[in-house]
Chain A
Amino acid sequence: DTAVSQTPKYLVTQMGNDKSIKCEQNLGHDTMYWYKQDSKKFLKIMFSYNNKELIINETVPNRFSPKSPDKAHLNLHINSLELGDSAVYFCASSQSRRAYNEQFFGPGTRLTVL
């Protein structure tokens, strides 16, 4: 029974398109995150939501818009895709926003922009 799931696992699309990545967690956690892993495998936080409220919004182009319909879901919508958006995107969740909570990661979505 998957704890944090993401769809799709692979996404290949053309420059300029709009796409969404979905994330769901069945752990009953309050806090969810989106991370970007670049070609050098470096992970960086993009967004974090706590109980559907945005709490972290890093310096991310406003073409990226997270949406949390409920605390079990955090979707990532990307407008006008660019070549530089190609990366692996990981969703994660933790019980709360407190420092001592372990984060559980989804399997990742590999986005390739052609």
Chain B
Amino acid sequence: AQKVTQAQTEISVVEKEDVTLDCVYETRDTTYYLFWYKQPPSGELVFLIRRNSFDEQNEISGRYSWNFQKSTSSFNFTITASQVVDSAVYFCAQSTSGTYKYIFGTGTRLKVLA
């Protein structure tokens, strides 16, 4: 069975600190996709990144970076020099290629304090 675990329920940091959000997934499939979504206080869900299971290269986009490690079944998300606007709930999700089901983690609430 597929499962996505975000063990950190809530994290609080002070502005400009770096923070890493953990995501551990379980799947027996060889071809799958991993996603991160952001849900700001306004409530909408915003897509951040997609990774496929054959691409283990780390990704950097501005202050955001993602570390995908198949050996540990993890897809962690790091925010460098956090800002108050980063305060949100972040969801990790997994989907197997050729299916239409997406498994979401329970989310991590990030609070960035000024």
A binds B: no
Q: Chain B interface (Cβ within 8 Å of chain A)? A: none
A interface residues with partner B (beta carbon < 8 Å): none
